[in-house]
């Protein structure tokens, strides 16, 4: 099978993937072995997989074929129509009755069938008449990451415990508001349409076409530029300060004091989370506590301050399961993490 990074796929991505469709509709020994092994290794994607499987099995595709470009536009039109239902499904918490889930899936199937039974010519007319959604909100839960395709084809990879609000107020500007962390791959437009990222904490980022990471967890905001050029606008009492970033540069902003600094940085370290790795450079238990709070909403309490003197350097895989990550940190720092009560995890020396 063609190597793909399915970790970041949404239900829509799986439903659109031809190899996934082939497995659902025409399973074979090789495809069964691949997908069963992949699902076992990524239990956090089970609900997403089930959603995509049910959608594909419910829909009966007609025999005519579409070009790849037309196929992508068709699915975009479908998901634009039912986008609000998709967001509701993907942000459900475990324990919600399945009746609601199946109701949502039936809407998916109905929407897909409605479009697929029409002719290609009629479909093209419909697509051009369908208005693109002007605003929407996407959220990730603790321990969940999500890849989002914006209406302009820009891509956003959202880290756990993050929230993204997209709004296009007119034909000349695209704006998003971010809480948490996200990596942006912004689509360049022929008409130089602006792309603005706001962080709710006095910082706005003006983009034309570029790749960068924004982290607004905790008490600071960090903006790292990987490719292209961006302009940061920082609101201050005396007015507004503007900073321009080049690839390989970072701006760190303190939310409490308002102080900021620009410097060179190793972008591979800041962006390692997008590849499923945690790079640790003099990493302390304080950093562990911040990571667990940001990603899993877990409160790690370090009672013995001597433990803060230890630090490590290296890397480890990021597994979006809190217990698994604590087990990894336990081995690296040679400590024990004990659940003290419902809200706190205490650190003890082994």
Query: Residues 53-66: pLDDT tens digits?
Result: 876 665 544 434 44
Q: Whole-number mean pLDDT of the chain? A: 78
Rg of the chain on CA atoms, in Å: 22
pLDDT band at 117 (very low <50, low <70, confident <90, very high): very low
Residue 272 reports pLDDT greater than 90: yes
Residue 129 reports pLDDT greater than 80: no
Residue 19 reports pLDDT greater than 60: yes
Once rounded to an integer, what is the mean pLDDT over residues 314-328? 92
Region 276-349: CATH code: 3.55.50.30
pLDDT number for residue 91: 35
Main-chain phi, psi angles of 308, to 5 degrees: -75, -15
Q: Global pTM?
A: 0.61
Share of the chain above pLDDT 70, in %: 75
Check if the beta carbon of residue 172 is closer than 8 Å to that of residue 195.
Answer: no
pLDDT number for residue 80: 55
Residue 131 reports pLDDT greater than 50: no
pLDDT band at 67 (very low <50, low <70, confident <90, very high): low
3-state helix, strand, coil in the chain (%, to 5): 40, 30, 30
pLDDT number for residue 57: 67
Check if the beta carbon of residue 58 is closer than 8 Å to that of residue 101.
Answer: no
Higher pLDDT, 42 or 78: 42
Higher pLDDT, 55 or 36: 36
* 97 CB neighbour count, 10 Å cutoff: 7
Nearest to 216 by CA among 237, 199, 234, 193: 199
Region 132-274: CATH code: 2.60.120.1440
Query: Residues 276-299: pLDDT tens digits?
Result: 999 999 999 999 999 999 999 999
Query: Residues 188-219: pLDDT tens digits?
Result: 877 778 889 998 777 899 986 789 999 999 88
Lowest-confidence range among 113-117, 187-191, 328-332? 113-117
Residue 24 reports pLDDT greater than 90: no
Please name the residue ranges forming H helices in the chain. Answer: 11-16, 18-25, 29-41, 46-58, 68-81, 83-90, 98-116, 120-129, 267-270, 285-296, 322-333
State the Cα–Cα distance between residues 28 and 34, nearest whole angstrom.
10
Domain ranges (residues) in the chain: 1-130, 132-274, 276-349
Residue 125 reports pLDDT greater than 50: no
pLDDT number for residue 74: 52
Class of residue 326 by CB neighbours under 10 A (exposed 0-12, middle 13-18, buried 19+): buried
176 DSSP 8-state letter: E
Query: Residues 158-175: pLDDT tens digits?
Result: 999 999 998 877 767 788
pLDDT band at 95 (very low <50, low <70, confident <90, very high): very low
pLDDT number for residue 119: 38
What are 293's strand-pairing partners?
A: none
pLDDT number for residue 18: 79
pLDDT number for residue 120: 42
Lowest-confidence range among 68-82, 97-111, 288-302? 97-111
């Amino acid at each position: 099978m063609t190597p793909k990074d399915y970790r970041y796929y949404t239900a829509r991505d799986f439903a659109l993937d031809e190899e996934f469709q082939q497995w659902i509709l025409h399973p074979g020994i090789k495809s069964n072995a691949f997908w069963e092994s992949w699902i076992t290794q990524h239990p956090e994607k089970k609900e997403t997989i089930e959603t995509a499987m049910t959608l594909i099995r419910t829909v009966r595709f007609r025999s005519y074929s579409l070009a790849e470009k037309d196929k992508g536009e068709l699915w975009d039109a479908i998901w634009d129509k039912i986008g609000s239902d998709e967001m509701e499904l993907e942000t459900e918490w475990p324990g919600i009755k399945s009746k609601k889930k199946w109701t949502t899936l039936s809407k998916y199937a109905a929407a897909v069938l409605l479009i697929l039974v029409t002719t290609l010519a009629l479909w093209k007319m419909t697509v051009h008449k369908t208005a693109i959604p002007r605003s929407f909100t996407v959220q990730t839960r603790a321990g969940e990451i999500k890849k989002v395709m914006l209406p302009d084809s820009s891509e956003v990879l959202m880290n756990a415990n993050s929230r993204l609000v997209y709004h296009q107020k007119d034909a000349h500007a695209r704006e998003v508001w971010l809480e948490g962390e996200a990596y942006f791959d912004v689509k360049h437009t022929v008409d130089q349409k602006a792309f603005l990222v706001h962080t709710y904490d006095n910082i706005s980022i003006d983009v034309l076409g570029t790749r960068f990471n924004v982290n607004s967890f905790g008490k600071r905001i960090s903006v790292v530029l990987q490719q292209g050029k961006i302009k940061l606008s920082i609101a201050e009492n005396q007015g507004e300060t503007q900073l321009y970033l080049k690839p390989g540069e970072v701006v760190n902003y303190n939310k409490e004091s308002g102080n900021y600094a620009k410097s060179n940085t190793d972008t591979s370290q800041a962006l390692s989370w997008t590849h499923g790795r945690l790079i640790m450079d003099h990493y302390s238990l304080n950093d562990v506590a911040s990571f667990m709070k940001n990603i899993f909403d877990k409160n790690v309490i370090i009672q013995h301050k001597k433990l803060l003197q230890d630090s490590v350097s290296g890397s480890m895989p990021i597994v979006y399961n809190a217990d698994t990550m604590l087990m990894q940190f336990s081995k690296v720092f040679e400590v024990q993490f004990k659940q003290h009560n419902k809200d706190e995890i205490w650190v003890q020396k082994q």
